Amino acid sequence: MLDANKTMPIAIGIDFGTTNSVVAFALPDGQVESMSWDAAWSSVPGDRTETFRSALMFWREGRKVAHAAGPEAIARALTETGEQRFIQSIKTHLASRLFTETRLYGQRFTVEQLISTFLMDLFREGHWGEEGLRRAESLPAVGGRPVVFAGERPDDVLAMERLRQSFSGAGLKQVDFAYEPLGAAYWYARGLDHDETILVADFGGGTSDFSVLTFAHENGKLEAKPLAHSGVGVAGDTFDYRILDHVIAPRLGKGSLYRSFDKLLPIPAYFHAAFAQWHQLSWLKSPQTLAELRKLQTSAEEPGALADLITLIECDLGFELHRAVGALKAELSSKEKATFRFSREGIMIEAEVARKDFEAWIADDIAALARAMDEALAAANVAPNAIDAVFLTGGTSYVPAVRSLFVERFGEKRVHIGDAFQSVASGLALLAADRARQNESRA
């Protein structure tokens, strides 16, 4: 952890992620250190974390709307604290023209305002406190961006405009942006003593990005040359969706029927479609949606299943469900079978899941990842056998079916797995430091 009293950083890398966010500092000696936060959810006194959950919790305090971010938002999500709204995967809304604003306890929030609120807390709640935001405003900084934003028809121009406005709204007005896999590549290449052509695969919560780069030593310095980039809106959240859709949603009324006069009709699909996507789950908690669900419950063939869905929405159990899904994914990475368990507020869901079934559910997603990888190689005009090393980063890189995709194509020896959370931010910090030196040399 960076000692704020002894070391003054020269640049900052900011990885604002769909699921987790990380801040890294480049130091004068070429080292990189990470910002840390109090692990508010932990029972261990003084426990700290170097990842900041990309989440917000809102609640009413008198006439005001109060909020918490990151670890504190998680801590509130895990305790009974009355009426509140938990929002996660905010980044997923950036490229969508359909989502412009929401109202929380009567107060209007645009996408940009939600992200700005989050970013200010990201720095203020770090180990430097308020000073952290002031230093972030004054130092050279590079923020990460996906090659392709998440969403069905992502609007890249809109997403970048919103992202810049979000950082500016947090006081970070001079932030440059770089592709997230470029940051990961910088981190991988920091110790290279020879030239290499590498493929970087960065698996986030909302998107998976690929970059082909060459690193060559010129004039005693390692120079990076990006050759091509590609990306696809398939990543960790997509795999979560498959589990939710196959294991959980059917136990919450998906596919069941309700009686309308003399007919039996299916429960409208949009309830479970929204429920199965983390960035949409919190928006189900509206009086209109809950009233419609209660009306359906009175004529449903499986009223208990809809009752559980209503409870899950009303009690804001999205984060705890997310944790249970994540635990299942992690267990399936090392076991052939695992048991999904979720028990809260009278909801009890338990099911055994086989890895082969999970891999069947994500087969089309793996194929989409393969196509995006091939696009990057083709655009770079580099054959797979010309790739010297493959660097994988992000939590989804630990899913066996994902890892196998690269091992089968490039061989075990060429595939390297980096730190799931720190690689991108650390590389962005190094990139920010390099850009600052180049600007100084031109001045």
DSSP state of 267: P
Q: What is the pLDDT of residue 246?
A: 95
Instruction: Enumerate long-range contacts of 172-176, CB under 8 Å, 24 or more apart.
Output: 172/14, 172/119, 172/136, 172/137, 172/141, 172/143, 173/137, 174/140, 174/141, 175/14, 175/141, 175/142, 175/143, 176/140, 176/141, 176/142, 176/143, 176/432, 176/435
Q: Give mean pLDDT, residues 152-162.
A: 93
Instruction: Read off the tokens for 313.
Output: 């929405």
Instruction: Read off the tokens for 305.
Output: 């299943």
- Phi and psi at residue 260, to the nearest 5°: -125, 105
Evaluate whether 11-179+424-442 and 195-233+363-418 have a shared fold.
yes
Residue 335, helix vs strand vs coil: coil
Kindly indicate the confidence band of residue 360, based on its pLDDT and cuts at 50, 70 and 90. Answer: very high
pLDDT for 419 beyond 90: no
Look at residues 194, 204, 93, 222 and name the one whose alpha carbon lies nearest to residue 147: 204
Kindly indicate the confidence band of residue 218, based on its pLDDT and cuts at 50, 70 and 90. Answer: confident
Mean pLDDT of the chain: 89
pLDDT for 441 beyond 80: no
Domain range annotation of the chain: 11-179+424-442, 195-233+363-418, 236-361
Q: What is the pLDDT of residue 443?
A: 58
**Fold (topology level) of 11-179+424-442:** Nucleotidyltransferase; domain 5 (3.30.420)
Q: Which residues pair with 416 in a beta bridge?
A: 391
Share of the chain above pLDDT 90, in %: 62
Task: Return the CATH number of 195-233+363-418, one of 3.30.420.40, 3.40.50.300, 2.40.10.10, 3.90.1300.10.
Answer: 3.30.420.40
The pTM score is 0.88
pLDDT for 80 beyond 80: no
Q: What is the pLDDT of residue 382?
A: 96
Strand pairing report for 55-61 and 52-53: unpaired
Kindly indicate the confidence band of residue 271, based on its pLDDT and cuts at 50, 70 and 90. Answer: confident
Q: What is the pLDDT of residues 90-124, one digit of tens each?
A: 999 999 998 888 888 889 999 999 999 999 999 98
Kindly indicate the confidence band of residue 402, based on its pLDDT and cuts at 50, 70 and 90. Answer: very high
